[in-house]
Amino acid sequence: MKIAVIADIHGNVAALEAVLDDLRRHGGADIVVNLGDCVSGPLWPRETFDLLEKLAAPTVRGNHDRRVAEDISDEMWLSDRFAHERLMPAQRAHLGALPMRLEIAPSVLAFHARPDHDERYLMDEVVNGHLARAPLATIEKKLTALDPTARMILCGHSHRPELIRLSNGRMIFNPGSVGCPAYEDDSEPAYVSEQGSPHARYGLVELRGDDEPRFEFIAVDYDWESAARRAEQAGRTGWAHALRTGFMPA
């Protein structure tokens, strides 16, 4: 069974289209799973929602999906408000009603950030102002309440491609972000997450019976300049820099 894993699209329909085209060139997949944060961002939220609706992939709710649907408009973060204002009420309600986690296949569990929280990191911590991999013991402690039959975890949120094998053999796979290669969080302590290139990211997981699963990280070229110009038109120069480079401005 081949599973295509997409996450953190953030309204970048141009990147999503490139990823889906690339997936078709790879022969497609038995199932596509979307790990959430679908539309929030100063790009193409309505167009992204429409394309995802056609794709009809099993989808878990990201923290920004929840915020677009439920936060008070005047108190929203800029990217969430941009998406909120461009979606229909039924579309916002759909995002808010997405499940927090899904079993994609036997023993394969998908969620956005952590199984118990859509906004806290599972595999990451802040080190010198950057997201970095947390110690193994810290990661395992966050999963103590998780059903031990879940042998593989698919998650996003950090926008950092990552594959970790835990001491009990459980695998955690984060494909990286389809549409937002870098971001800044100014909460205390402030930090950035940077993929280091502007490519659209996704992943493939191949389940092979009793053999070890096969994982593939894929980075796709697309017209990120058009996405950057779109962000500039919305007054989001930091987003534009991230889309062009994969880094946040110094």
pLDDT in tens, 163-195: 999 999 999 999 999 999 999 999 889 999 999
The percent of residues in the chain predicted with pLDDT above 90, rounded, is: 91
**50 domain-assigned:** yes
**35 domain-assigned:** yes
Give the pLDDT band of residue 149 (cuts 50, 70, 90). confident
**133 domain-assigned:** yes
**221 domain-assigned:** yes
**Rounded average pLDDT over 52-80:** 95
Check whether 127 has a pLDDT greater than 80.
yes
Domain at 70, CATH number? 3.60.21.10
Check whether 210 has a pLDDT greater than 80.
no
> For the residues of the chain, what is the DSSP string, one character each?
-EEEEE---TT-HHHHHHHHHHHHHTT--SEEEE-S--S-SSS-HHHHHHHHHHHT--BPPPHHHHHHHHS-GGGS-HHHHHHHHHS-HHHHHHHHTS-SEEEEETTEEEESSBTTBSSS-SSEEEETTEEEEPPHHHHHHTTTTS-TT--EEE--SS---EEEE-TTS-EEEE---SS-SEEEE-SSSPEEEE-SS--EEEEEEE--TTSPPEEEEEEE---HHHHHHHHHHTT-HHHHHHHHHSS---
Number of domains in the chain: 1
Encode pLDDT of 8-24 as tens digits.
999 999 999 999 999 99
Give the pLDDT band of residue 228 (cuts 50, 70, 90). very high
**250 domain-assigned:** no
Encode pLDDT of 65-76 as tens digits.
999 999 987 888
Query: Where in the sequence is the domain holding 152, given as residue range(s)?
Result: 2-245
- Please provide the average confidence, as pLDDT, over all residues in the chain: 96
Supply the pTM of this predicted model.
0.97
